[in-house]
């Protein structure tokens, strides 16, 4: 049988029967029960295709129906413009809300700690000699409840600080708009828009630094306070925490200080005077400027009448009979130091059961007043010509005791402590850490390096004069503040990690960035950091052990903490070889380097380093003698540039003015590792080379001397003898003799008897 294969049935073409093999035995084909995979895949593919097509078709139908539906709401003319504006407003408002929430996250971090901790302490501070210098803290239970305060005091505060206090939720947009309008009319800031809650947020969590970041935090924290506290609690905290001048915090303390009476007993005139202090406590403090305080109180009374809280008839008596204050001597409290010391007390005394404490500090009020005078006189005389408005200073005695601290020009105007909290670029004053690390590696002041153009990671630093000196010694490189040398040392010899570790070991507590520009001082530090670290040089390479608290006592006289007893001993942080090399270099900078205006009179050897940052935003001088280390900074809070002020100008002159005062009438200590460290008392001091006296300089400060250096040494020796002397035992009445024991032990030696004195 012939088969046409082209038209053969499927079973033949598929090989079910082999017709070409005539002898083949045909057997019935068994049924294959396995699933046909290709058919399954085809069904899946078909389902996906149909599903996707149907979904797309239905989506298109929905979109068309939606479009047709919304065409009914299409606006034309002025209505369309209105809705476009509303739509854009909603879009940008949503984006802005997300952005503001992101910016608010740092603000909420401030609330994680125990922000009420200040109310757990009541501290009386003494200076190094035991004289009272101020108070900090308030016991929460002892603060006066709002319901017990005089009604006219509450009205005076609200009329002046926040008339809509009970009508807003932390931010008063109506009050802000009104303040902006008044300021625009006056062409300056004459009215503030911050609410009382915002001011409390600033007092509790933030500083007085004028930045956008701080204002954003303040706004969100104000809302947070409104959500977590009642209006009465907010008002009470505000009255308890606000600075009121004269070193007092809180209305209750101010009433006692100015009027000698409890806050519950103040009259309307006194309440108006207290309410006027919140704006500018230093300017309107009645014990400093009583006429200004009374004028401000009269403004408060006017605010009460304009706000509808009182009538003119009710306040007329207070106008005619203004408040009088207790006649107090004008003793300026070291408020910046006390704020820092109070933080230290809370850290040290946290485990103590008693929080009503007496604290003996390290501050020397004579040096403190001289430091304040030095900073203020420099700003008053040269501030306008250099376009600089702020300064800060820290003085540390050899051994670590902080003797003076100036955190700003006016504590009443701004309580932000620029000595401990402001992070500023140190400029060339940071180079000492690079050189110290190099000396630890075995280099010496005579080691020769190349001052030439250098490129590191795409960065090419230049020297101040845009010139290069070629081969120079490390001494000349640091004395002349050459920029390429520390960068070359960091690149080829040290690395930025070693430099950062050296700075941290010497006492810089602020985190240090280790980028390529760090050797030239681009990583921010505080004035306190610089004073602490530089104090290692006169300490011979040992830790300076910076501290502001000598003793903490309770009111029973028990010593709860003593620095000499409880603080760990100083560790060595730089080798003797490195210290000797660094001191040899640093003591030449006031002689042949950039700090010639810092050289002291009377031949006292001085070491130190200047620092000037980019665009003249910051100017530093940190210097030391064998007795004291002082760090000085000048700049502007808003980071605007000064008028080409360098570290060798105003900071160096301020250092000299203070240190000339501090070194008078004391027994001088030597700077270790240098030749002729002490002045020769038999010779007249030589003029510093190339140092030109400033004809406009203020007269030097004169330190009062009650005792000569010789008498002081003798009294110290007598005091040391008494401390080492054996204690006296109670008189033995039977023998009429007094027994003396060397030291109390379990098995005391035989007592040594002495004759008792009788009349």
Q: Which residues are catalytic?
A: 161, 428
Return the structure tokens found at 520.
Answer: 């030239």
d(CA 590, CA 733): 67
| Cα separation of the two ends of the chain | 164
- The greatest distance separating any two alpha carbons of the chain, rounded to the nearest whole angstrom, comes to 164
Q: Which residue has the tokens 């070193």?
A: 247
Sheet with 737-740: list strands edge to edge.
728-732, 737-740, 752-755
Long-range contacts of 298-302 (CB under 8 A, 24+ apart): 298/272, 298/322, 299/160, 300/156, 300/159, 300/160, 300/272, 300/273, 300/275, 300/276, 301/156, 301/268, 301/272
* Whether 563 contacts 550, CB under 8 Å: yes
Neighbour-count burial of 596, counting CB atoms closer than 10 A to its CB (0-12 exposed, 13-18 middle, 19+ buried): middle
3-class SS of residue 139: coil
Neighbour-count burial of 344, counting CB atoms closer than 10 A to its CB (0-12 exposed, 13-18 middle, 19+ buried): middle
Residues in the chain: 759
* Whether 172 contacts 194, CB under 8 Å: no
Return the structure tokens found at 71.
Answer: 């065409």
d(CA 134, CA 338): 7
Closest CA to 395 of 701, 666, 655: 655
Sheet with 607-612: list strands edge to edge.
402-406, 390-397, 628-635, 618-624, 607-612
3-class SS of residue 156: helix
d(CA 274, CA 265): 13
d(CA 486, CA 470): 14
- In order, the DSSP letters of 511-532 are ----STTGGGT-S-B-HHHHHH
* Whether 299 contacts 319, CB under 8 Å: no
């Amino acid at each position: 049988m012939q088969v046409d294969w082209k038209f053969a049935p499927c079973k033949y073409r598929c090989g079910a029967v082999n017709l070409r093999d005539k002898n083949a035995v045909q057997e019935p084909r068994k049924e294959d029960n396995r699933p046909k995979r290709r058919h399954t895949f085809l069904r899946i593919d078909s389902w996906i295709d149909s599903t996707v097509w149907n979904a797309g078709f239905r989506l298109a139908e929905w979109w068309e129906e939606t479009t047709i539906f919304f065409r009914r709401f299409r606006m034309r003319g002025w209505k369309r413009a209105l809705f476009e504006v509303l739509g854009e407003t909603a879009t940008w408002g949503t984006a802005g809300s997300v952005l503001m929430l992101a910016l608010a996250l740092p603000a909420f971090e401030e609330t994680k700690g125990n922000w009420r901790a200040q109310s757990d302490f009541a501290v009386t501070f003494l200076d190094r000699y035991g004289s009272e210098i101020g108070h900090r803290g308030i016991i929460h239970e002892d603060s006066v409840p709002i319901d017990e305060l005089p009604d006219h005091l509450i009205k005076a505060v609200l009329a002046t600080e926040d008339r809509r206090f009970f009508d807003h939720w932390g931010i008063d947009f109506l009050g802000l708009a009104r303040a902006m309008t008044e300021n625009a009319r006056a062409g300056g800031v004459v009215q503030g828009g911050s609410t009382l809650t915002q001011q409390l947020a600033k007092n509790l969590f933030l500083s007085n630094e004028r930045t956008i970041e701080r204002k954003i935090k303040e706004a969100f924290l104000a809302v947070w306070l409104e959500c977590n506290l009642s209006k009465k609690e907010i008002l009470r905290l505000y009255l308890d925490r606000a600075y009121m001048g004269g070193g007092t915090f809180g209305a209750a303390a101010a009433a006692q200080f100015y009027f000698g009476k409890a806050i519950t007993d103040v009259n309307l005139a006194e309440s108006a005077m207290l309410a006027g202090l919140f704006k500018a406590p230093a300017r309107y403090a009645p014990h400093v400027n009583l006429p200004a305080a009374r004028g401000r109180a009269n403004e408060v009374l006017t605010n009460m009448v304009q706000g509808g809280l009182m009538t003119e008839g009710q306040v007329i008596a207070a106008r005619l009979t203004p408040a009088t204050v207790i006649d107090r001597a004008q003793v300026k409290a070291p408020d910046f130091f006390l704020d820092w010391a109070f933080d230290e007390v809370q850290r040290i005394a946290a485990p103590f059961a008693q929080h009503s404490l007496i604290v003996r500090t390290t501050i020397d009020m004579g040096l403190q007043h001289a430091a304040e005078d030095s900073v203020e006189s420099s700003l008053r005389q040269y501030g306008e010509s250099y376009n600089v408005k702020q300064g800060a200073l820290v003085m540390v005695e050899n051994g670590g005791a902080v003797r003076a601290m100036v955190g700003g020009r006016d504590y009443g105007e701004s309580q932000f402590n620029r000595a401990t909290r402001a992070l500023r670029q140190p400029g060339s004053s940071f180079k000492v850490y690079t050189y110290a690390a190099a000396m630890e590696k075995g280099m010496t002041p005579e080691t020769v390096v190349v001052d030439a153009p250098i490129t590191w990671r795409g960065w090419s630093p230049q020297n101040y004069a845009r010139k290069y000196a070629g081969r120079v010694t490390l001494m000349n490189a640091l004395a002349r503040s050459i920029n390429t040398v520390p960068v070359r040392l960091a690149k080829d010899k040290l690395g930025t990690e070693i430099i950062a570790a050296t700075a941290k070991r010497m006492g810089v507590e602020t985190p240090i960035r280790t980028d390529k520009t760090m050797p030239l001082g681009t990583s921010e530090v505080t004035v306190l950091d610089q004073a602490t670290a530089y104090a290692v040089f006169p300490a011979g390479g040992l830790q300076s052990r910076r501290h502001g608290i000598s003793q903490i006592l309770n009111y029973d006289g028990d010593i709860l903490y003593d620095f000499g007893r409880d603080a760990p001993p100083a560790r060595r942080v730089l080798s003797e070889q490195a210290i000797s090399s660094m001191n040899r270099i640093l003591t030449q900078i006031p002689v042949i380097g950039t700090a010639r205006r810092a050289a002291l009179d009377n031949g006292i050897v001085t070491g130190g380093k200047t620092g000037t940052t980019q665009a003249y935003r910051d100017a530093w001088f940190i210097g030391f003698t064998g007795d004291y280390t002082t760090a000085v900074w000048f700049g502007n809070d808003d980071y605007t540039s000064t008028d080409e002020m360098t570290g060798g100008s105003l900071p160096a002159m301020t250092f000299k003015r203070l240190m000339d005062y501090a070194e008078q009438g004391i027994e001088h200590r030597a700077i270790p590792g240098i030749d002729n460290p002490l002045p020769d008392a038999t010779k007249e001091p030589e003029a510093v080379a190339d140092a030109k006296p400033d004809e406009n300089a203020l007269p030097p400060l004169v330190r009062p001397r009650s005792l000569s250096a010789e008498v002081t040494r003798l009294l110290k020796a007598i005091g040391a003898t008494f401390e080492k002397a054996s204690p006296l035992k109670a008189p033995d009445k039977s023998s009429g003799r007094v027994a003396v024991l060397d030291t109390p032990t379990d098995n005391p030696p035989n007592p040594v008897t002495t004759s008792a004195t009788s009349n």
